[in-house]
Amino acid sequence: MDRYDAYQSIASPSGEGIADLYAALRLGTSCIGRNFRQSGTCANCKTCSGVRDIDYLKRTRTSPPSPQTFAWSNKNCGSSVHCKGYTYSEAVYSLYKRHLQSPPYNYDDYTALEIVTRLTYIGGGSVVSWYSGSPPYGGCASTSGYKKFLTADDDNGNLNDGTPRT
């Protein structure tokens, strides 16, 4: 889906994160590749029987649990496309499961899923690079995932006023 979208190439630094998001949003689970493993859970996963879990609260990597950040990815992922994909797949999944279902929005699960799915399909399709550069300011290019999601969420052509969600 990524290769044949609005931006006709696989977005860098990894197409794995968007593939994980498409699967998670379609199947309603953060566990990617459920039942891929015949026994036990994936490495660093609490309950997922797949290859990875994009909900950082369901992993055992850090205590207390924390998302993989841009800085963490630059320091630890090297050329691992799955590791790099966590950075933005976790962020979008958290937008769905935590941020939109908490104050001030308080959307129910279905509404939050609908919003994030729309943002992912519209915004994600034209991403050239999900994030790039050096910490702490990487990822702010106009073709980044963050900017494309802001544009997809905008309802009046002015990104400075925070519409429709602030």
Residue 8 is predicted with a pLDDT of: 61
Distant-in-sequence, close-in-space partners of 106: CB < 8 Å, separation ≥ 6 = none
* Positive or negative torsion for Cα 130, 80, 133, 100: positive
- Please measure the distance between the N-terminal and C-terminal CA atoms of the chain and give it in whole angstroms: 29
Residue ranges of domains in the chain: 16-161
* Rounded distance between C-alpha atoms, residue 93 and residue 141, angstroms: 22
Residue 137 is predicted with a pLDDT of: 58
> What is the per-residue pLDDT across 42-65, written as a single tens digit (0 to 9) for each?
878 888 888 889 999 998 876 778
Q: Give the pTM.
A: 0.85
Residue 116 is predicted with a pLDDT of: 95
> What is the per-residue pLDDT across 123-157, written as a single tens digit (0 to 9) for each?
888 888 887 766 655 667 788 888 888 888 888 88
* Rounded distance between C-alpha atoms, residue 14 and residue 16, angstroms: 5
**What are the residues facing 12 on neighbouring strands?**
129
> What is the per-residue pLDDT across 7-37, written as a single tens digit (0 to 9) for each?
666 666 677 888 899 999 999 899 998 877 6
